[in-house]
Structure 1
Amino acid sequence: MEATFVNPTEKKSTNKAALAGKIISGLCILFLLFDAIMKVIKESHSIEGSAQLGWPVDQVQNIGIALLISTILYIIPRTAILGAILITGYLGGAIAIMVRAGQPLYFAAVFGILVWAGLYLRDEKLRELIPLKK
């Protein structure tokens, strides 16, 4: 039998990081679900906003379904990294549309950073895979 000792201060900082990650991810998830559902149910403001950016109105619901699936994958711990990758692709498309439409793109860029920051803080395996310090 092997004994493993854990430094209590390290454990507390990990718990705080995981909590911060869950809060950041939770806020991102709420926004993404709201946006996706508004597109899926064809809410008028969502349709109008998408049309003003150049999206065909008949494709807005499909975009919402893609975002909804990506967000659900992000919520599930086992598929969260896949979900984050898909959300990153979605936000990359949003940035491209914003550039083409002459709109500010910082929201989508910052949002993408928050999606990954939340996952990074709450997923210990991701922190091991991509260490910020050694």
Structure 2
Amino acid sequence: MTTTRTAAPGKIAQRIGLVLQVLVIAFLLFDAISHILNLQVVKDASVELGLRDEMAPITGIVMLVVLVLYAVPATSILGAIVLTGYLGGAVLTNWRVEKPLLSTVFFAIYVGIAAWGALYLRDERVRNIIPLRRT
């Protein structure tokens, strides 16, 4: 089995990846904290989605654990994998109650693409796992 090495990204790509990763973490950290605090807006959204509002703090704690995994370079790929599963649940939950497709249902997909895109730009291991090739 041969290992295909991909070219290292330039400094600009690495900086874009870092900025993208920080934005993903900041957004999800804000979301996690609002769930942990069980703010009224979170309670209202939970009811609208058919979830019990007492689930919100646990969901926020789970997201914090996932964010730590994603933010630490040694575990960032594991964090991205777990984050992908979490975001998949968000897609299904929003789709089930017929939220707008492009703005709400797919928003979690956009976050997932940003999370993986950030890692792709910064981490050779990800580029080796997901080689994008010109044909």
Provide the TM-score with structure 2 as the length reference. 0.85
**Structure 1 residue 43: Cα displacement:** 1.5
2:67 paired with 1:71: yes
Separation in structure 1 between the aligned mates of residue 41 and residue 26 of structure 2, nearest angstrom: 18
Query: Which residue of 54, 58, 62 maps to 2:58?
Result: 62
1:97 paired to 2:88: no
Deviation at 1:129, TM superposition (A): 2.6
**1:128 Cα offset (Å):** 2.2
Moved over 6 A (4+): none
- For structure 2, list consecutive stretches of 5 or more residues without a partner in the other structure: 1-6
Counterpart selection for 1:25 from 12, 21, 28? 21
Give the structure 1 partner of residue 109 of structure 2.
109
Partner of 1:42: 38
CA distance in 2, matches of 1:131, 1:19: 20
Tell me, in whole angstroms, the C-alpha distance in 1 between the residues paired with 2:83 and 2:129. 20
What letter is aligned with 1:84?
A
Q: CA RMSD in A?
A: 1.5
1:52 lines up with 2:48 in the alignment: yes
Counterpart AA for 1:103: K
- Residue identity matched to 2:108: A
Residue in 2 that maps onto 1:124 = 124
- Confirm or deny that 1:83 pairs with 2:88: no
TM-score, structure 1 normalization: 0.86
CA deviation vs aligned residue, 1:5-43 (integer Å, no higher than 9, x gap): xxxxx76x5221111111111101000000001101112
**Sequence identity of aligned pairs in percent?**
40
- Please state how far the C-alpha of 1:46 moved relative to its aligned partner: 1.6
Opposite residue 23 of structure 1, the aligned amino acid is V
